[in-house]
């Protein structure tokens, strides 16, 4: 099945830049975008507008924290609460420099945390490492998720 | 708790001592009894003196009357008798004591005298001319009178003698005086019997009153006045009763006064208790209001902090998102449209990106400053020397190319929040590190000293220093005294230091000589 990424991001600029960063780092996988927390959950659990969506779970979820409707941390909590998505890799992606967000993210089971710096070059570098890590090296978590 | 004052107002907790045990009463009773005793004694002695004077008056009265009579008989009647006898008007044989003997006349006159006294409501007075050798047996001296007669014969100068005697249980004032000394003339009737006038001899058989000797006092005149003991008792009783009454009246007056005093005090006390209860209620009410106000303010403050929190959070996200977009798209332009932009266009993009990054730094610092303000404190005993060493080590490893001597005094101790104090030292040492960058032999000291009379910590460097004229601006946020070209930074470090020191209730100050270094003093 086709490997793809779910990007949960409400800011269209950030969306474009994130996808650009991925592409620039030769991550050519399809990127699905959810514009708020509720939509992200609908997508993952194939509900609402995404009911009957074909296909598997994404390889990784890039989750912004400050989201309309449902906060990113709440989304993370729901993902970890469901058996189907309990092991789904989630990378928290946020502008927030608040320590408590970082602590709370890890507490709720985020696999990684990337701060979105103002400097795009730094962001590019972070995304590059992330993409390499999750799409090329990390097979096992993905595999377990796929067969579950 | 709020019920307590009302309770007090109803039943004032005043301990009231028994009125009779009050010091005032005891003193009064003591003085009262002493007064009564003194009064009794005075009344007694007064009564005694009065009675004695009455008796004395009576005696003097008897004396004067009877003396006069004696003189009359002896100086008038006797010469008249003898003159009549010489003229042959009286027979030489005739003798009558009723006419011629003063002792006889006075004794019998005394009977009439007493009758008159009694008729006038006075007591009877005893009178006697007592002798051991009486012519008339009624004049025979009692043993007491006989003793007195002897006394006068022995003490010839003694004119009178006074004594209080008790006869048949009754007190009397006894007055004794010697009668005339017997002389030759007396012996015509008191010498040998055969020499006395024959008429006298016939009237007085026996030897009584004869054979007397000249120069002897043959009789003592005794006058006895009763000391009226009943008057005495009455006087004493009256005085005592009056004293007692007076004492009682005093006691009553005292009691009334005391009761009034107690009542007055009690009522004033009650008023005071009520007043205090009122005040206490007011204080409680005020406290409640104050507590409420404090709660309200605290809630407002907490709301403000929460708001600040939310604000900071949104600043960190929302303010940075557009920056990131600007920087991101500038980068995209740079990469994908470079040929079309030309060198000047690329330079402009670089400037846009530099500004983005600077604004990102400013936002970051602003958030950090606000974090130091909001962060909860956890005060502990800290080893400032160890913290300073750690910070110094970080600085050194951050710029391994620099040669900086750190001199950190041992045993610097303070109480504070570790992360905040670490940030404080990080800023001060970081500043010192930064501003000594262009000094060949950089030196940074951390220690303890006395600054303006107070024990303070200090961080001293030998860097560029600053102009003291701008000292006031030193601790303001985003204030810079050096160009960003020379020394990079946002100007938030010392504002952070001030904020942290203030949160610890301390102070911070700085001194410098431009070109020779700066010293920062702080207390926690």
Domains defined along chain A, listed by start? 4-137 (3.40.50.2300)
* Rg of chain B, C-alpha, whole Å: 67
pTM of the entire predicted model: 0.44
Q: Is the dihedral of CA B74, B80, B85, B87 positive or negative?
A: positive
The two counts, helices (H) then strands (E), for chain B are 14, 11
Note the ipTM here: 0.73
The answer to whether B357 contacts A118, with C-beta atoms less than 8 Å apart, is: yes
Question: Sign of dihedral through CA atoms B4, B5, B10, B14?
Answer: positive
pLDDT category at B482 given cuts 50, 70, 90 is low
With an 8 Å Cβ cutoff, is B147 touching chain A? no
Give A-chain residues touching B318 at CB under 8 angstroms: 66
Rounded distance between C-alpha atoms, residue B111 and residue B125, angstroms = 10
Q: What angle do CA B376, B378, B382 make, to 5 degrees?
A: 135
Q: Do B332 and A20 touch (CB under 8 A)?
A: yes
Instruction: Output the six-digit token pair for B182.
Output: 């017997």
| Contact call for A96 and B316, based on CB within 8 A | yes
**Distance, CA of B433 to CA of B444 (rounded, Å):** 8
CA-based nearest residue in chain B for residue A118: B324
| Contact B212/A at CB under 8 A | no
Q: What's the gap in Å between the CA of A138 and the closest CA on chain B? A: 28
pLDDT band at B16 (very low <50, low <70, confident <90, very high): low
For strands A30-34 and B161-167, give the pairing. Answer: unpaired
Enumerate the residues of chain A whose CB falls inside 8 A of the CB of residue B323.
Answer: 118
Across B304-321, average pLDDT? 76
pLDDT, tens digit only, all 148 positions of chain A: 678 889 999 888 888 988 888 888 888 888 999 999 999 999 999 888 888 888 788 988 999 888 888 889 999 999 999 998 998 989 888 776 667 778 888 899 888 888 777 788 888 888 877 776 666 545 444 443 333 2
Work out the end-to-end distance of chain A between its first and last CA atoms, rounded to an integer number of angstroms. 15
Task: Give the span between the Cα atoms of B236 and B233, in whole angstroms.
Answer: 5
Note the pLDDT of residue B484: 59
What's the pLDDT at B219?
Answer: 93
- A–B interface: beta-carbon pairs under 8 A: 66
Contact flag A95-B313 (C-beta cutoff 8 Å): no
Neighbours of B319 (CB within 10 A): 17
Q: Please check the confidence at residue B183 and state whether its pLDDT lies above 90.
A: no
pLDDT at residue B132 is higher than 80: yes
B324 vs A contacts (CB less than 8 Å): 13-14, 17, 95, 116-118, 120, 123
Chain B closest-CA separation from residue A92 CA (Å): 14
């Amino acid at each position: 099945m086709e490997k793809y990424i779910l990007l949960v991001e409400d800011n269209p600029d950030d969306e474009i830049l994130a996808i650009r960063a991925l592409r620039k780092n030769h991550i050519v996988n399809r990127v699905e975008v959810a514009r708020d927390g509720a939509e992200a959950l609908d997508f993952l659990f194939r509900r609402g507008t995404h009911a009957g969506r074909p296909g598997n779970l994404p390889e990784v979820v890039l989750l912004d924290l400050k989201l309309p409707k449902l906060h990113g941390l709440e989304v993370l909590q729901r993902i970890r609460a469901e058996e189907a998505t309990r092991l789904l890799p989630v990378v928290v992606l946020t502008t927030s420099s608040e320590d408590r967000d970082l602590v709370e993210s890890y507490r709720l089971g985020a696999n990684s945390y990337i701060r979105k710096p103002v400097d795009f070059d730094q962001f590019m570098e972070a995304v590059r490492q992330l993409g390499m890590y999750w799409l090329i090296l990390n097979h096992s978590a993905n595999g377990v998720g796929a067969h579950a | 708790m709020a019920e307590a004052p009302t309770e007090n107002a109803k039943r004032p907790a005043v301990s009231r001592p028994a009125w009779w045990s009050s010091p005032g009463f005891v003193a009064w009773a003591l003085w009262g009894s002493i007064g009564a005793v003194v009064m009794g004694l005075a009344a007694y002695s007064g009564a005694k003196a009065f009675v004695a004077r009455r008796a004395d008056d009576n005696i003097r009265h008897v004396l004067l009357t009877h003396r006069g009579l004696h003189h009359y008989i002896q100086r008038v009647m006797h010469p008249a008798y003898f003159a009549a006898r010489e003229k042959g008007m009286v027979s030489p044989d005739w003798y009558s004591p009723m006419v011629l003997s003063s002792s006889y006349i006075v004794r019998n006159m005394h009977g009439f005298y007493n009758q008159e006294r009694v008729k006038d409501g006075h007591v009877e007075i005893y009178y006697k001319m007592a002798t051991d050798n009486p012519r008339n047996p009624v004049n025979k001296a009692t043993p007491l009178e006989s003793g007195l007669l002897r006394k006068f014969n022995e003490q010839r100068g003694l004119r009178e003698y006074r004594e209080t005697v008790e006869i048949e249980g009754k007190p009397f004032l006894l007055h004794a005086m010697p009668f005339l000394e017997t002389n030759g003339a007396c012996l015509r009737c008191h010498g040998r019997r055969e020499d006395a006038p024959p008429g006298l001899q016939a009237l007085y058989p026996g030897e009584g009153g004869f054979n007397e000797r000249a120069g002897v006092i043959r009789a003592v005149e005794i006058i006895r006045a009763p000391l009226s003991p009943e008057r005495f008792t009455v006087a004493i009783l009256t005085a005592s009763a009056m004293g007692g009454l007076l004492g009682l009246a005093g006691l009553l007056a005292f009691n009334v006064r005391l009761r009034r005093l107690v009542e007055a005090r009690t009522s004033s006390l009650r008023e005071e208790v009520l007043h205090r209860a009122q005040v206490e209620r007011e204080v409680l009410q005020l406290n409640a209001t104050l507590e409420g106000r404090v709660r309200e303010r605290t809630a407002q403050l907490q709301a403000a902090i929460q708001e600040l929190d939310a604000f900071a959070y949104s600043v960190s996200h929302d303010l940075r998102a557009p920056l990131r977009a600007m920087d991101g798209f500038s980068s995209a332009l740079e990469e994908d449209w470079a040929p079309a932009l030309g060198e000047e266009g690329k330079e402009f993009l670089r400037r846009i990106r530099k500004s983005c990054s600077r604004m990102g730094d400013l936002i970051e610092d602003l958030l950090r400053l606000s974090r130091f303000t909001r962060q909860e404190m956890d005060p502990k005993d800290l080893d400032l020397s160890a913290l300073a060493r750690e910070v110094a080590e970080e600085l050194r490893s951050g710029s391994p190319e620099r040669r900086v001597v750190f001199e950190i005094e041992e045993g610097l101790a303070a109480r504070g929040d570790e992360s905040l104090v670490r940030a404080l030292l990080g800023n001060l040492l970081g500043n010192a590190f930064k501003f000594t960058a262009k000094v060949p032999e950089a030196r940074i000291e951390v220690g303890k000293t006395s600054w303006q009379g107070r024990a303070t910590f200090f961080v001293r460097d030998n860097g560029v220093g600053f102009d003291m004229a701008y000292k006031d601006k030193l601790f303001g946020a985003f204030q810079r005294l050096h160009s960003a070209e020379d020394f990079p930074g946002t100007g938030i470090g010392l504002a952070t230091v001030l904020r942290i020191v203030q949160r610890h209730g301390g102070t911070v100050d700085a001194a410098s000589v431009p070109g020779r270094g700066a010293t920062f003093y702080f207390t926690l």
